[in-house]
Structure 1
Amino acid sequence: MFRSLNLCRTALKSPSTALTRTMASKATRSYNFQDIKRLVEHPQKDTLLVDVREPKELQAYKMPTAVNIPLQSAPGALALSKTEFEDLFHFPKPQPSQELVFFCAKGLRAKAAEELARSYGYDNTGVYEGSINDWLANGGEKVKTE
C-alpha cells in the first residue's frame, strides 16, 4: 500500500499535462442535488461520480454508484498507469473521455481534485459543490440506483 501511495505522490510531482492546458479546455460543469440524484438513479457509463474524501470518511456514508479516489492520500492517482491504478483502487482507471464529477464533504476538495484531474488530461469534468452535506440535507441517502 505504501508503495502505491508513493507512486501517487511521485505522479503528482510530474503531471503529464501542463496546467496551462486546463485554461483552454472545456469549462467545468457545476452540478446540483437534482443533477446528482439523476446520475445515481440512472447511472451513465460516460459519467463517473468521484468521491475524493478519505476512506475513513466513507464509513459514515458512501454515495451510491460513486467511486473513491481520495485527494489527500492519493493526489497523483489519475497519473498512474492503468495497471498501477487498478492495483491500488480495485476498479478500472477512468478514461480521459469520461466525465468525472467530483465531490467531497463540503466542496473544497472536490474543486481541487477537479483542477488536478485537468492537469492530467481529464478535460471533461464537473463539481458537485454542495457535496455530501448537500446530498444528505436533501434526502439523498434514500436515493437508490436502478
Structure 2
Amino acid sequence: MFRVALSRTAAMGLARSSPALSARVALPRLAPVVRFNSTKPKSELKKQLDAQDDLRRDWDARILSYEELKPKTQQPSPDKYLIDVREPDEVLQGSIPSSVNLPLSGIPNSLHLDAATFKQKFGFEKPRHDQEVVFYCRSGKRSATACDLAKRNGYTNIFNYQGSWLDWTSREGIKPPSS
C-alpha cells in the first residue's frame, strides 16, 4: 500500500466522488489563522518604521556620479580603489581608467583572504576596511550587490558608481565594440 499527499481540496473532491475511498483519505490539517491586532498608537508605529528606514539608509552605499568619479580616474591613489566587478571577458571590452578587476562572483570568498593571498590572486593590494572603495559594473546592479557584500564584510567607506560602464562610455564618447 502507498500513500499520496493530496491538497485539502483534492482530498475533499476524491472523498465526495468515491464513498469507499473516503474512509481511507486522510485530510491534511490546516494551520489556524491568527490575526494580530496592534494596540500601539499610530505615532509609535511611525517612529518604529522611521527607525527601520534610518537603518536601511545607513546600509545603502553612497552613490557616486560621473562628475565625482572622473577626477578619481585622472589622479589615482593607492588609498582609493575603483573596482570593476564585471567578469574578465566583459573587461576585455574596456574598463574605466585606473580601475582594477575583482569579479562579483569572487567577492564573497576573496574578502576573507589574507592580504598576501589576495594580492597573489588578483594582482593588487587587498583594500583595507576603512579605505575608499568605488564599485562599478556594466549597468549598476552588480556594483550595488558588491557594495552590499563589502558592507557585510566590514568595509565602511563604500561607493557605488550607479551609472557604471554604460554611463561612462556614453559620457566619454566611447562606442561599444560591435558583436
What is the TM-score with the length of structure 1 in the denominator? 0.74
Q: Please say if 1:97 is aligned against 2:118.
A: no
Q: Please say if 1:106 is aligned against 2:120.
A: no
**Aligned mates of 2:155, 2:99 — CA distance in 1:** 17
> 1:85, 1:93 within 8 Å by CA — same for their partners in 2?
yes
Report the structure number with the largest CA radius of gyration: 2
**Aligned mates of 1:70, 1:140 — CA distance in 2:** 25
> 1:25, 1:123 within 8 Å by CA — same for their partners in 2?
no
**Aligned mates of 2:164, 2:132 — CA distance in 1:** 17
Which residue is equivalent to 1:128?
A: 161
In the TM superposition, residue 75 of structure 1 has moved relative to its aligned partner by 3.1
Read off the aligned partner of 1:138 and give its amino acid letter: R
Read off the aligned partner of 1:45 and give its amino acid letter: P
**Aligned mates of 1:133, 1:109 — CA distance in 2:** 13
Read off the aligned partner of 1:90 and give its amino acid letter: G
Where does structure 1 lack aligned partners over 5 or more consecutive residues?
1-21, 142-146
Q: Deviations over 1:55-96 (max 9, x none)?
A: 111110121101111002443211111122112111111111
In the TM superposition, residue 43 of structure 1 has moved relative to its aligned partner by 2.0
Which residue is equivalent to 2:63?
A: 30
In the TM superposition, residue 45 of structure 1 has moved relative to its aligned partner by 3.4
Which residue is equivalent to 2:152?
A: 119
Closer, same or farther in 2 for the Cα pair 1:129/1:90, shift >3 Å?
Answer: same
**Aligned mates of 1:30, 1:133 — CA distance in 2:** 16
Q: Please say if 1:64 is aligned against 2:100.
A: no
> 2:82, 2:99 within 8 Å by CA — same for their partners in 1?
yes
Q: Deviations over 1:109-140 (max 9, x none)?
A: 00000000111111110000000000000016
> 2:107, 2:149 within 8 Å by CA — same for their partners in 1?
no
The sequence identity of aligned pairs, in percent, is 36
Count of matched residue positions in the alignment of Structure 1 and Structure 2? 120
Read off the aligned partner of 2:83 and give its amino acid letter: V
Read off the aligned partner of 1:31 and give its amino acid letter: L
Q: Which has the bigger relative contact order, CA under 8 A and spacing at least 6?
A: 1
Which residue is equivalent to 1:7?
A: none
> 1:37, 1:140 within 8 Å by CA — same for their partners in 2?
no
Q: Please say if 1:75 is aligned against 2:108.
A: yes
Which residue is equivalent to 1:18?
A: none
Q: 1:85 aligns with which of 105, 118, 121?
A: 118
> 1:54, 1:73 within 8 Å by CA — same for their partners in 2?
no
Read off the aligned partner of 2:155 and give its amino acid letter: Y
Where does structure 2 lack aligned partners over 5 or more consecutive residues?
1-54, 175-179
